[in-house]
């Protein structure tokens, strides 16, 4: 009789216990996020390919620049989260660092501060656990229960602001967009490009719990953009007569004497491909408790 009573009680409690366990993640569905990392850029300038190739074969490690990022993550479902982040960094490229001699002779370079505000959806391929540690009563310490590496992929949409600059012979950095180095604002068919643009992030990340509230992670994401002017280079040179200022004349064409003569419509960039940039961030996340009203408790 006692066994029947115990079994009956367990049968009544088990669904509630399973439900409570499965909903445990909701107690810490909000996370604060912060990280430091690096940027890199694929465009017309610099590059490591002797043939002047595109995309990954043109990757130039020397163009890596610093990045800082902060944000908040919210779990919609246990494997699905949405994250908002604000990032600030620099993008860079320099023909002097290229293995392509034509690019070296072209001698263009740039740096661009970039501010990115974005929202991304993250889907966990390997779901997150609360803690990687399991207490051991017998040994009085802890043991590594499992690797427990939360792995996720993400995409979303970003709005970013960029401001390409170059250094003139006087050693000062100048904003390039107002100059119109390819005739923007000087020729009727060439309007000045917008320094505010949209990008689509695609990437993956890992999170490793240190405590029940704190995790460390690594995230990589490339950005597909819809602008070819992050480096201020896209189409062709224009007549130097459009530039009265010697500084502007130099910035639109600092090429060496070995570079083919420039002027009318000689090639300066390649409008066939839009620019591409990437972020890699080492981050720390901190879980916030959720109050009865469903909002995070700071």
Do residues 106 and 255 touch, judged by C-beta distance below 8 A? yes
Question: To the nearest whole percent, how much of the chain has pLDDT over 90?
Answer: 61
Residue 39 belongs to a domain: yes
Per-residue confidence (pLDDT) for residue 77, from 0 to 100: 93
CA distance 103 to 60: 13
8 lies in some domain: no
Task: Give a yes or no: residue 201 inside a domain.
Answer: yes
Q: What percentage of residues in the chain have a pLDDT greater than 70? A: 79
In a domain, 250, yes or no: yes
**2 in a structural domain:** no
Residue 51: per-residue pLDDT: 53
Cα 182 to Cα 104, 112, 222, 231: the distances in Å are 19, 18, 27, 12
In a domain, 15, yes or no: no
Provide the whole-model pTM: 0.83
Residue 277: which domain range?
A: 29-290
Which tokens go with 274?
Answer: 């839009």
Domain total of the chain: 1
Q: For residue 297, is it within any domain?
A: no
- Determine, yes or no, domain membership for 19: no
Q: Could you report the per-residue pLDDT of 235-259, keeping only the tens digit for each?
A: 999 988 899 999 999 999 999 888 8
CA dihedral 161, 198, 51, 237 (to 10 degrees): -60
- What pLDDT, in 10s, does the model give residues 50-89? 555 556 677 888 899 999 999 999 999 999 999 999 999 9
pLDDT, position 130: 61
Q: Where residue 149 sits, what CATH number does that domain have?
A: 2.40.160.20
Residue 80 near residue 233 (C-beta atoms within 8 A): no
């Amino acid at each position: 009789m006692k066994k029947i009573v115990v079994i009956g009680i367990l049968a009544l409690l088990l669904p509630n216990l399973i439900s409570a366990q499965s909903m445990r993640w909701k107690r810490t569905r909000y996370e604060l996020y912060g990280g430091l990392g690096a940027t890199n850029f694929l465009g017309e300038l610099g590059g490591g390919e002797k043939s002047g190739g595109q995309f990954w074969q043109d990757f130039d490690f020397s163009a890596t620049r610093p990045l800082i990022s902060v944000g908040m993550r919210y779990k919609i479902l246990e494997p699905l989260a949405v994250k908002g982040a604000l990032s600030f960094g620099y993008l860079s490229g320099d023909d002097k660092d290229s293995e392509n001699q034509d690019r070296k002779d072209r001698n263009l370079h740039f740096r661009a501060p970039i501010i990115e505000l974005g929202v991304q959806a993250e889907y966990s391929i390997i779901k997150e656990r609360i803690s990687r540690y399991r207490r051991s009563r017998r040994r009085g310490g802890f043991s590594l229960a499992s690797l427990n590496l939360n792995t996720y992929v993400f995409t979303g949409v970003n709005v970013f602001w960029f401001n390409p600059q170059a250094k003139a012979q006087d050693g000062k950095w100048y904003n390039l967009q107002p100059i119109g180095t390819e005739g923007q604002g000087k020729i009727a068919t060439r309007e000045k490009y917008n320094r505010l643009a949209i990008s689509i992030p695609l990437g993956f990340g890992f999170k490793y719990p240190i405590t029940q509230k704190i995790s460390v992670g690594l995230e990589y994401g490339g950005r597909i953009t819809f602008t070819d002017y992050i480096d201020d280079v896209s189409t062709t040179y224009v007549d130097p007569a459009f530039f009265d200022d010697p500084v502007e004349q130099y910035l639109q064409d600092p090429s060496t004497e070995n570079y083919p003569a420039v002027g009318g419509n000689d090639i300066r960039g390649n409008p066939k491909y839009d620019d591409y940039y990437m972020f890699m961030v080492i981050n720390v996340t901190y879980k916030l408790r959720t109050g009865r009203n469903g909002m995070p408790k700071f």
